Structure 1
Amino acid sequence: MSTGFAPDSAPVLVTGATGRQGGATARALLAAGVPVRALVRDPATDRAKTVEALGAELVTGDLHDRESVIRAAEGARAVFSVQMPGMTEAGFDFEGEIAQGVNLIDGAKAAGVPHFVHTSVSGADRRTEAPGWAEGRWASMEPTLGAKTAIQDRVRAAGFPRWTLIKPGFFMENFLPSMAFLFPRGIEGGIVSVLKPATRLSLVAVEDIGRAATAAITAPEQFDGIELELASDYLSMTEIAEALSRALGTELSAPDMTEEEAFAAGMPGMGASHEWMNVAGQPARPEYARELGIPLTSFEEWAQKHMRATA
């Protein structure tokens, strides 16, 4: 096991580098001149090769295999941690998500990694404060938010010399038609959701997660013990629809649907999470990141760049 603080020339072990958050972090680190070691299960895949082409070193490992994590983390100056639940016949595997998080935390600790940066979700550990929680209204949200909270707790208690938690809000990328989350019928079918016109979302651009992680990794003392509720913008659904209309050159309005109407219009099974936004929301706000000097992407900027290309 290595000990002490790794030099600045040491790489950062990035998990999920072939996905959205890990990919954004790998790109931001490399752009800042920080060496990246990307943990991948299969280096021969197109996604892995794309990460390698950016300048990252690939290392083979699996978050279900603690020993492979230890090997991958040896000599790293920091770890960027992200987990998502896998799918089984019974649905999402949240216990597997926790197991992956524990293996990564324990493996990084055993390897002597001095800084652990973990990305979770905004407001997970405040879930029991939501109106109706005690009455069981949000029971379907507990597996998701409980898994996130369990991993956060493990990071805090692990004993890393330095650690940082990033808690992103509602992904702007959820509005991409290719995701089929909010535009299941395409742009011409309008926004489909139980989100109400006045509901305000703590929006985050995935690239800003990469920027936040890079800021933490390159200034570890400043970000030690920081729990950043990360939002790039904070807008109502009416304001979001207006920004999308400007980017797309077509008139869109904020939805005002019942759950039955939204499901009939093709909404995926996310009614509870969107109703959660109506009632509880998320605590992430743009000013928290700005106070730490992290550059952010407004929803207007994001929509002009990403939605216009889909029009």
Structure 2
Amino acid sequence: MTSELPVLVTGATGQQGGATARRLLADGHPVRALVRDRDSAAARALAAAGADLAVGTFEDAAALRAAVTGTRAVFLVPVATYAAHGWDITDEARHGIAVVEAAVSAGAGQIVFTGVASAGDPAAWGMQGKVRIEEAVAASGLRYTLLRPVRFMENYLLRGSPVDGVRPGGEHYHLFPADRPLQMIAVEDIAAFAALAFADPDGWHGRALDLAGEAITPVAAAALIGAATGRPVHYREATEAEADAIGPQLGNVWRLARQTGGWHADIPAVRALYPGLTGLSDWLARGGAEAIRHRIDAVPVR
């Protein structure tokens, strides 16, 4: 289904929002992209690809109402901020609910919200903000779809994070057990599922879907990355004490990953809905390996 009315994409200069905006444009759907700064490189790239830019923030109720007015649907991905105390669930929930309220007020017909897959007690993982937004979306009276992705493959490219991201020299340091499969998803695949939902609002109404495209142990993933990059890559599993020292919620994640086994998305069922699902080898071959190679070869900042 296509429409002359655009889809409003929030977080459009971020990973999920940007990928979704590009996918919708490629599929022939008009896109209105909510951006903080229309002169940023990412915003200019979206405009060049055909997106209409709406300037505003989640804090600006008037800008949100203006952005959503005249749209048929909203892709919602609020900013999630992590600090020493953990995830800022209050602001995340408030921002997400503000978008839901603006969508209802403006008469948009559909919301696709992307949160996170379940892996135990949301409070322990710091995911209560996303739960509150899901509740608001479901209660909105609009057609809705809840996408719940697991860890991103793109996280191998993180810089400056206390965990995750392949570091200069080839170390991948993370909280998860070295010998247990860790589920992951390519950001482009999240965008593909959002596009499916926007193309069939009735058929996707009320769905809540955990998204993963790969399940591989961190040690096996490091070997795969090493082979693809031509550089030695090794995985180092954080200790419980190290995780607690980074922050209380990361310590909780360390424990829950061992108690619950982490995420449990039904990958064959996800692939049945979208046969083009990306595996880690695919992601590496499509540019991931080259980007990681640059990270490994970078001179560490001292």
Interval of TM-score (by shorter of Structure 1 and Structure 2): 0.7 to 0.9
Q: Which residue of 1 aligns with 2:121?
A: 127
Contact 2:8 2:71 in 1 (8 A): yes
Mark the runs of 5 or more structure 1 residues left unpaired by the alignment. Answer: 1-5, 129-138
Of residues 87, 94, 97 in structure 2, which corresponds to 1:99? 94
Contact 1:234 1:285 in 2 (8 A): no
Partner of 1:22: 17
Deviation at 1:278, TM superposition (A): 3.2
List alignment gaps of at least 5 residues for structure 2.
Answer: 294-302
Shift of 1:293: 3.0
Q: Which runs of 4+ in 1 moved over 6 A?
A: 87-91, 261-264
| TM-score normalised by structure 1 residue count | 0.83
Q: Out of 65-74 and 85-94, give the one that drifted further.
A: 85-94
Deviation at 1:242, TM superposition (A): 2.4
Aligned to 1:80: 75
Higher deviation after alignment, 250-259 or 41-50? 250-259
Report the Cα distance in structure 1 between the residues aligned to 2:51 and 2:177, rounded to whole angstroms: 42
Q: Note the C-alpha offset of 1:91.
A: 6.4
Cα offset, 1:243, TM superposition: 1.5
CA distance in 2, matches of 1:182, 1:81: 25
- 1:67 is matched with 62
Who is 1:8 aligned against?
3
Match of 2:256 among 276, 290, 297: 276
Matched with 2:266 is 285
From 219, 225, 228, the equivalent of 2:209 is 228
How many residue pairs match? The answer is 290
Instruction: State the superposition RMSD in angstroms.
Output: 2.8
TM score, norm. by length of structure 2: 0.85
8 Å contact 2:157–2:291 — kept in the other structure? no
Cα distance in structure 2, aligned partners of 1:80 and 1:223? 14
| 1:37 matched residue in structure 2 | 32
CA distance in 2 between partners of 1:116 and 1:288 (Å): 23
Q: 1:252 to 1:111 in 2, by over 3 A?
A: same
Q: Which residue of 1 aligns with 2:136?
A: 154
Question: How is 1:207-246 mapped onto 2 (pairs within 5 angstroms)?
Answer: 207-246=188-227
Q: Is the 8 A contact 1:7 1:77 kept in 2?
A: no
Question: 1-side partners of 2:117 and 2:138: how far apart?
Answer: 16
Alpha-carbon deviations, 1:138-172, whole Å to 9, x = none?
Answer: x653xx21111111111111111x10000000111
Quote the offset at 1:92 in angstroms: 4.5
